[in-house]
């Protein structure tokens, strides 16, 4: 068991380091090279990478406290604050992912008819506004953390006084206060299921738009002799970026579907590695997605930092 715990800890550290490096590199790449001419898409990516990085750091701090509960006394205020920051980062990451998928669909939809005309979210002011809305919604959906009942059943009273509970919702088959149950299902519905539905639907729509564009581009290229060269330079870059977004959306769907199944199927009292499993599911997207977005959008490149 000790050897298995050490392996899990090593895996946790590795995933966290991969995520921190990826998100840090993505943030630096955008700030150093694109801040003066930043576009809406880069702003959304920057918001996503910042939320990912914060979530990875805070979730590790929270889980370290859980691991140290046998020897350290931790007040509920620290538990609530750390969990609030964890949930805030998690929801912000999810909302920015939804925003990126909607933005890319709007950019692709009727692109041939619109030509170079901008969409609403192309405006930096609009991008700042929707980013602020995402942050505000994340804060509002995280606030119930401070009023939840952390007191477990009688047999667990001593343990709960010592440190943070591994399952912060404190919802098992035998014990689940009304406010905890309400928040748990509100969180799953508003922060997991609804974004999953939106991202899945948007991914399908993006694929349909790409397929329709592929059908219409072929005859245009064969008839016109001058326009294909100008379109070819722009279209492959856009398609590469779109494929990267679709890959990230696929990772998002797998990741959060597993998270929902895990939350609805298991509870902390029956599952000894609850904190570790929740960590791996919740952190895989935040650690891998910056590489997918960065490489696909030519942001994750050493040239960007060397130029500076």
- pLDDT tens for 98-144 read 999 999 998 888 767 766 677 888 888 899 999 999 999 999 999 99
Q: Determine the Cα–Cα distance for residues 304 and 153; give it in Å rounded to an integer.
A: 55
Stretch 158-179: mean pLDDT, rounded?
Answer: 68
Q: Tens digit of pLDDT for each residue in 35-54?
A: 667 788 889 999 999 999 99
Domain residues for the domain of 239 are: 2-219+231-307
Decide if 146 is inside a domain: yes
Contacts 24+ apart (CB under 8 A), 121-130: 121/40, 122/39, 122/40, 123/40, 124/38, 124/39, 124/40, 124/43, 126/40, 127/40, 127/43, 127/44, 128/43, 130/99
Please report whether residue 298 resides in a domain.
Answer: yes
Q: Can you read off the two tokens belonging to residue 171?
A: 């919802």
At 69-82, the pLDDT tens digits run: 544 445 578 888 88
Question: Is residue 97 in some structural domain?
Answer: yes
Kindly state whether residue 225 falls inside one of the protein's structural domains: no
Residue 78 lies in a domain: yes
Angle between helices 2-34 and 274-296 (to 10 degrees): 30
What number of other Cβ atoms are within 10 A of residue 290's Cβ?
A: 29
135 located within any domain: yes
Specify the CATH number for the domain of residue 37. 1.20.1070.10
Question: Quick check: is 52 in a domain?
Answer: yes
Q: Is the pLDDT of residue 159 over 50?
A: no
102-131 CB burial, b ≥16 within 10 A, e <16: bbbbbbbeebeeeeeeeeebeeeeebeebb
Two structure tokens written together for 254: 């797998």
What is the residue whose two structure tokens read 């669909």?
A: 105
Distance between CA atoms of 299 and 27, rounded to whole angstroms? 9
Domain presence at residue 224: no
Distance CA 193, CA 187 (A): 9
Task: Say what the pLDDT of residue 10 is.
Answer: 81
pLDDT averaged over every residue in the chain: 79
In terms of pLDDT, which residue wins out, 285 or 220?
285
pLDDT at 91: 94
Taking only the tens place, the pLDDT of each residue in 21-36 is 999 999 988 888 766 6
Residue 179's pLDDT band (boundaries 50, 70, 90)? confident
Provide the domain count of the chain: 1
């Amino acid at each position: 068991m000790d050897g298995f715990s050490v392996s899990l800890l090593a895996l946790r550290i590795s995933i966290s380091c991969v995520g921190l490096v990826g998100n840090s590199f993505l943030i630096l790449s955008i700030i150093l090279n694109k801040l003066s001419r930043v576009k809406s898409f880069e702003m959304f990516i920057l918001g996503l990478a910042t939320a990912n990085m914060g979530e990875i750091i805070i979730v590790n701090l929270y889980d370290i406290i859980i691991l140290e509960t046998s020897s350290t006394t931790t007040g509920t205020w620290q538990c609530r604050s750390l969990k609030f920051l964890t949930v805030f980062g998690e929801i912000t990451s999810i909302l920015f992912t939804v925003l990126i998928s909607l933005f890319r669909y709007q950019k692709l939809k009727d692109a041939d008819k619109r030509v170079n005309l901008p969409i609403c979210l192309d405006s930096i002011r609009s991008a700042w506004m929707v980013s602020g809305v995402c942050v505000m919604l994340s804060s509002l959906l995280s606030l119930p953390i401070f009023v939840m009942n952390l007191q477990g059943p009688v047999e667990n009273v001593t343990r709960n006084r010592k440190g943070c509970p591994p399952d912060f919702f404190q919802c098992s088959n035998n014990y689940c206060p009304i406010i905890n149950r309400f928040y748990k299902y509100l969180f799953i519905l508003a922060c997991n299921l609804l974004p999953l539905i939106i991202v899945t639907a948007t991914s399908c729509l993006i694929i349909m738009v790409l397929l329709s564009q592929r059908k219409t581009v072929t005859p245009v290229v064969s008839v016109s002799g001058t326009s294909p060269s100008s379109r070819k330079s722009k279209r492959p870059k856009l398609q590469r970026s779109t494929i990267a977004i679709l890959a990230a959306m696929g990772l998002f769907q797998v990741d959060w579907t597993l998270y929902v199944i895990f939350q609805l199927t298991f509870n902390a009292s029956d599952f000894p590695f609850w904190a570790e499993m929740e960590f791996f599911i919740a952190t895989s997207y935040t650690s891998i997605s910056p590489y997918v977005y960065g490489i696909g959008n030519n942001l994750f490149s050493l040239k960007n930092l060397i130029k500076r």
